[in-house]
Amino acid sequence: MKKRNYIAYGLGDLYGGGSFFIISTFSMYFLINVAGLNPLLAGLVPGFGKIWDSVSDPLMGYISDHTKSRLGRRRVFFLIAILPIAVTFTLLWLPVSCPGQLSTFLYYVVAYLFFYSCSTMVLVPYSALSAEMTLDFTERNRLTGTRMIFSMIATLIGGLVVQPLINAFPSQEQGHLVMGLVFGTLFAVPYLFVFLGTWELPVVQKPLGKEKSVFRNFGSIYQNRSFRIHIIMYICSYAAMDILMAWLKFYLIDYLRRPGFITVGLGTILVSQMAALPLYVALADKRGHAVSYRMGLMLWGLAIAMMAFQTPDSSVVALFINCLLIGGGMSAGVVIPFQLLPFVTDVDTLMTGEHRAGTYAGAMTLIRKLIQGAFVLPMLGLLLNMIGYTPHPADVDLVQSASTIFWLRGLFIVLPLLLILVGIKASTRFPITPESHAILRSELERVEAGGRREDAPERTKTVCQRLTGKPY
């Protein structure tokens, strides 16, 4: 595999990483302080899209696994989605003047439905593709590592450019709309190059009896022990990241009274996140993904705990160092769960004889959206309402009550820290290592060549049982 192929594949996550980062970081503030929605309604906007996602993500995984096209069962969707990516992202930032809260709420619910449908159509086959471009352990890690580099480039651009771009216009309304247009285009165009620079290996499916329904097919993947643990690790790290990013702007403006630090803080987190990524990829290659994940989350948890000592009188240098450490630890939580996807699908192939990377990618895409849209953002809106947060434009210096500040500060630290600790605990049970994966691949090749499972060496049977969670 050549460098240009790694780069072509990685370009696709400019959309996945960048769009979800911008939504996590800026959408709540936009919906509350620009669109004028009540915080509770603003938090519910993305959540309504999750009802549709609970259908569309499993369906897209099933469709992608069963697509027959001369352009491939994954890559064909990249061409279809180029224009919808640009349009649906822009619609999220269109300031509407509707009579009353309900009409405004309904507009943004529909806009998010369109956005999430488009992202499903693209990101499910895109995530599945890394399992089908190569079977090699190191190449798969490099593909996902390259993907995460581009994801972080997109988030870095978002962190450094979004707020200054918005502020460059006479009104917040104009600034957000132009931002949506610019980034919608940035996310859409690269998929032409993703299509041209990638491929799909031939897939030979085991002859099947009765075809599973879409939802039985989707539900069956949770029988895979490796995947169940992987999903817990994924949920914990991404929920912690989404809470941190969604809360950060409120924390800096309303508690630390440093609105000018938003771009610096985001940029610092994202640059250190990107700088640390090759270290975690290299560590995963040598020691396994679980070790790499734990090392990063320990650093991240320590950095979050250090935020408890930040006050409005703290030096900017101390805050900068804190953000640097947060990004350095968060990097592992971002990259490792996506690196694991091709390997847990290998376990599924051993269990079922099928190649269902699309179904697994659909599950990850659904869970990613549920974390952000049905959990983090609605919870944030509910909590802001409960602690008595008073909405205000970014250029209005409003002092929140002492009680609101207390809860704003405490929840910013406690919620991500709890999730990080659960993720660390789950990673100690994750069974896939470079050694166990080599045994798995050898057994897959033996079985696909006609070998019987009962003839496997005892060591192989033990490893396969740990990976699958079922007798082998």
Residue extents of the structural domains in the chain? 3-195+223-385+397-432
* Confidence grade of residue 204 (pLDDT, cut at 50, 70, 90): low
Predicted pLDDT of residue 396: 67
Distance in angstroms (rounded) separating the CA atoms of residues 341 and 289: 11
Predicted pLDDT of residue 390: 85
Summarize the confidence of residues 293-316 as an average pLDDT.
Answer: 95
pTM for this one? Answer: 0.73
Predicted pLDDT of residue 89: 97
Summarize the confidence of residues 292-318 as an average pLDDT.
Answer: 95
Is pLDDT of 217 > 80?
no
Summarize the confidence of residues 74-85 as an average pLDDT.
Answer: 94
| Higher-scoring residue by pLDDT: 131, 146 | 146
| Higher-scoring residue by pLDDT: 48, 388 | 388
* Confidence grade of residue 212 (pLDDT, cut at 50, 70, 90): low
Predicted pLDDT of residue 303: 96
Highest-scoring range by mean pLDDT, 207-221, 237-251, 422-436, 442-456: 422-436
Q: For tokens 């009188």, what's the residue? A: 313
Summarize the confidence of residues 447-453 as an average pLDDT.
Answer: 88
**Could you tell me the CA-to-CA distances from 132 to 65, 350, 365 in Å, in that order?**
11, 16, 18
Summarize the confidence of residues 50-75 as an average pLDDT.
Answer: 81
Of 95, 96, 94, 77, the C-alpha closest to 85 is: 77
Predicted pLDDT of residue 202: 77
Predicted pLDDT of residue 400: 87
Quote the percentage of the chain above a pLDDT of 90: 51
pLDDT tens for each residue of 132-181 = 898 887 888 889 889 988 988 998 898 889 989 999 999 999 999 999 99
Rg (CA), the chain: 22
Predicted pLDDT of residue 213: 65
CATH number assigned to the domain covering 3-195+223-385+397-432: 1.20.1250.20
Name residue 146's amino acid.
T
pLDDT tens for each residue of 369-417 = 677 666 776 788 788 889 988 877 656 677 889 999 999 999 999 999 9
Predicted pLDDT of residue 186: 95
Query: Other CB atoms closer than 10 Å to residue 147's CB: what's the count?
Result: 26
Stretch among 166-170, 265-269, 362-366, 460-464 having the lowest mean pLDDT: 362-366
Is pLDDT of 206 > 60?
no
Distance in angstroms (rounded) separating the CA atoms of residues 69 and 432: 33
Summarize the confidence of residues 46-62 as an average pLDDT.
Answer: 76
Average pLDDT, the chain: 88
Summarize the confidence of residues 75-94 as an average pLDDT.
Answer: 95
Sign of the Cα torsion 345, 201, 75, 191 reads positive
Quote the percentage of the chain above a pLDDT of 70: 94
State CA 55 to chain mean position distance: 19
Q: Structure tokens of 90?
A: 């822009």
pLDDT tens for each residue of 19-38 = 988 987 888 889 988 888 88
Is pLDDT of 78 > 90?
yes
pLDDT tens for each residue of 91-110 = 999 998 788 889 999 999 99
| Planar angle of CA 319, 324, 325, nearest 5 degrees | 100
Predicted pLDDT of residue 214: 67
* Confidence grade of residue 433 (pLDDT, cut at 50, 70, 90): very high
Predicted pLDDT of residue 50: 66
Predicted pLDDT of residue 210: 55
Predicted pLDDT of residue 296: 97
Summarize the confidence of residues 442-452 as an average pLDDT.
Answer: 90
Nearest-10 Cα torsion for 466, 468, 469, 472: -80
